[in-house]
Homo-oligomer: A and B are copies of this chain.
């Protein structure tokens, strides 16, 4: 690497084997999980650090892929048992899915302990997990500069108090539009987004799947459509790829973050659009930084008026 990086990016999340059925085909045991998609997306910009548990069945080839990609997997800990497995089926419109099987396996009892040299990370992504566990990770970081967390309906319902305690500790919160409505009880997405932001995070990014995303920062609202894909093969990992593009771009950048957030979201958007054009990491693996830049330029052009 040419120069020492000013920033360092850490993700704490899951590594999984996903079995996915779609109207156009299926795949078994594809490498997936939030930390996988996030770190792969971020690695277009810098060398991210990954913390996640895997089981004794996790093959060496995936570790080698992380290494080749510049992903620092010193936090990929092998625990007794099997790797987390998820099985799902997408409906015909590709926007909704049924979870057919979940085997948490080693993820079920995982208590993240960060490697010592990861504790100076500046940019942190707390991938979707219980808010108490996310807080526990945050406690181990010495001086975080930008912390983004993902959450989901399950925690909003079952660990609301912990989540509300976590929110003021975050720079950004990432959640689905329906989850923002659930968290706030407001059916208007603009009011709901603003209300979530007033719960503590400096900014809130609402994910709307194929309809794009919205950013709430200060009292401002920004909107960004998704990049229109003609070939949606497998939407799995789109949200974590989006997050990886956002934080990868911000961490690789020496300018202060807030003003660059929308550009970061645009990078996240185009990388997520690549992710969904193949099963698992297939399409991302065939892309390089130039492909990302080319798609970003196209996205910018199609949004201008």
Contacts and interface: CB of A to CB of B under 8 A. Distances in A.
Interface stretch (A25-33, A38-46, A138-146, A185-193): A185-193
A303 B190 contact: no
A190 B230 contact: yes
A157 interface: no
Interface of A: 23, 92-94, 187-191, 194, 208, 210-212, 214, 220-232, 262-263, 265-266, 300, 302-305
A189 B223 contact: no
A304 B262 contact: yes
A228 B214 contact: yes
B266 A305 contact: yes
Given A208-B211, A212-B212, A214-B228, 10 more contacts: A94-B188, A188-B229, A191-B230, A211-B212, A221-B228, A221-B302, A262-B305, A263-B305, A300-B305, A303-B303
Q: Which of A23, A191, A223, A226 has the most CB of B within 10 A?
A: A223
Contact of A189 (B191, B210, B227): B210
A224 B299 CA distance: 11
Contacts of A212: 211-212, 223, 225
A223 B220 contact: no
Q: Which of A94, A194, A222 has the most CB of B within 10 A?
A: A222
Contacts of A263: 305
Contacts of A221: 228, 302
Given A208-B211, A211-B208, A211-B212, A223 B302 contact: yes
Top 9 closest A-B pairs, CB basis? A262-B305, A223-B225, A211-B211, A222-B302, A190-B230, A190-B228, A263-B305, A266-B305, A221-B228
